[in-house]
Amino acid sequence: MTPQPIQAVDEPWRDRVNQFLKQSQLAEVDALIVPLTGDASNRRYVRVIPRSGESFVLALYGKSFRSET
């Protein structure tokens, strides 16, 4: 039996991932999205496991940023 990740009721980042998957067509919107342990930055990492094909990792940034240099 494979454990399934617990999904919180309010996860606004999940909407961003679903929107990206829909626009990019990298995976089906109903792909399994598994939150991963983060690092010391403000990024969030998720593994996307599509119904077909190989899984991949996405990094989500909290806010947009611009490099001034």
The mean pLDDT value for 48-59 works out to 90
Predicted pLDDT at 37: 83
Predicted pLDDT at 49: 92
Is residue 30 domain-resident? yes
**Per-residue pLDDT tens for 5-47?**
555 545 788 888 888 888 988 888 788 889 988 777 778 899 9
Is residue 19 domain-resident? yes
Alpha-carbon span 14 to 60, nearest angstrom: 10
Q: Which domain holds residue 35?
A: 12-60
Is residue 17 domain-resident? yes
Residue 58 in tokens: 């996405």
Q: Quickly list H helices, 1-69.
A: 12-24
Whether the model clears a pTM of 0.75, i.e. scores above it, the answer is: no
Is residue 45 domain-resident? yes
Predicted pLDDT at 6: 52
Q: Within a 10 A sphere around the Cβ of 31, how many other Cβ atoms?
A: 20
